[in-house]
Every structure is written in structure tokens, then in C-alpha cells.
A and B are shown apart, each in its own frame.
Chain A
Amino acid sequence: MELDRHFSDRVEFFVIYIREAHPTDEWQVESNETEKILFAQPTTLAARSEIAQVCSLKLELPIPTLVDDMENSTDRKYYALPDRLYLIGRDGRVAYRGGPGPFGFVAAELETAIEQYLDAPSIDPPSKSA
């Protein structure tokens, strides 16, 4: 992902791997059949982590991946399914919330939000590393 390379020294990036949006045993979609991305909804954390590993390798994700628990706690807190982007400020508040994926998942919007956040006069607590 270009974004993380561009901002990696100033922004921490994490992929949060959540429950499958379109597993074979739920709402299957055409594009996954075409691309042979065929997984049933995992029922254990180990199985979810295994799919996350495949995803990370296939997509060559350069960003650390965190795996949500099987209660989908973090997904539920952020209403993230199927995919969504957020920027959290140094003050711990939401600085940007993308729309729900796939239509609202717009990396360029996140990039703009990061630029605006970094360019804005800081109202956050000072960085401990500064």
C-alpha cells in the first residue's frame, strides 16, 4: 500500500482482519468465484488467522495485521464489516471515518484525511518521542 510507505514515519498503520464478508457458506459473490477466493466463515481464531495469513501473503500486505476475536468485538465497536477505513488522532479521537465498503472504502480519502491531519496545527497532546 502506497499510503503506509508515504506516511509510515508519522502514522501507525494496521490492517484489522475481521470476519469474512463473503464466505462460501453465507453471501457468496461473483468476483470471489472468478478469483477463486473461496473460504467458508471460520469458526475458530486459528482458522481465521490462517485465512488472514493467506490474504496477507497473496496481497503482499506490508502493514501489520491484527486479527479480531471470534466475538468480532472490534468489528462491532467500529461497525466495520465488510471493510472500512478510520484515522485515529493522537488524542484518541476519530479523525476520519470512511464509508462502509466496498463503495465507501476509498484509500484516496484516507490519504487526504492523513495529510489534513498532519498539516493541521496540533491540538493533541505532544508526542512523547518529540
Chain B
Amino acid sequence: MGLDAFIDLLKKNLSTTDFNRMMAFTASMEPERRSAMMQFLAERETLAPAVGSTAPDFTLPRLDSGDQVRLSSFRGRKPVALIFGSYT
């Protein structure tokens, strides 16, 4: 997805207030940082692990117990659904 198409997608899906906020937020950045961020956003679909590629391994703590969970420990046993996100 190119940058223009990405901006169009945001404009179409965000409220006018939020779209204007995003543009104001990015406009306040240093030009180099803004350019890098917008390019990152536009290109990330080509960089995110694609279907069929090896899933990057990770080890992270469980919030409830602190126990470490390693993705590759499920290999050969069970598929794993990953739901990335934050509260905000």
C-alpha cells in the first residue's frame, strides 16, 4: 500500500476530528521523523510476517503469573492465535 492510498484509507475511516488530529500530530514532528513514520505505516504491510513465513519467536511474561511464554514452545503441538493490541 502506498502512502497516498494509506492516507486515503485513514481519511475514509477516521472521524474528521481524528483525521485532523492525526495530521496535526504528524505535522508537529520533525520532518525526518514524520517522513520515516509515514513511510513505516505505509510499508509495514510488506514488512509484517507474511502467511507461510516463519513466525518470529518471542518470549514474554504472562500478566497474571509472570511465567515466561515462548511462542516456539507450541511448535508441533498447537496452533497459536496472537491478538496484539493496547487499551488505548
Nearest Cβ on chain A to B1's Cβ, whole angstroms: 9
Specify the main secondary structure of chain B where it touches its partner.
Answer: mixed
Whether the pair B18, A114 counts as a contact (CB closer than 8 A) is: no
Given A20-B88, A49-B63, A74-B58, A85 and B77 contact (CB-CB distance below 8 Å): no
Chain B, interface size category, equals 35 or more
9 contacts between A and B (CB under 8 A): A20-B88, A21-B86, A39-B87, A64-B62, A64-B69, A66-B63, A82-B85, A87-B80, A92-B55
Cβ-closest chain B residue relative to A129: B77
Cβ-closest chain B residue relative to A32: B88
| A99-B56 Cα distance, complex, nearest whole Å | 17
Residues in chain B within 8 A of chain A (CB atoms): 9, 13, 15, 17-18, 21-22, 25, 44-45, 47-56, 58, 60-64, 69, 71-72, 74-88
**B15 contact set on A, CB distance < 8 A:** 30
For chain A, the count of residues having a C-beta within 8 Å of the partner chain is 82
Whether the pair B63, A39 counts as a contact (CB closer than 8 A) is: no
**B48 contact set on A, CB distance < 8 A:** 78-80, 84, 97, 100
Whether the pair A127, B77 counts as a contact (CB closer than 8 A) is: yes
**B60 contact set on A, CB distance < 8 A:** 16, 66-69, 74
Nearest Cβ on chain B to A96's Cβ, whole angstroms: 7
| A84-B86 Cα distance, complex, nearest whole Å | 10
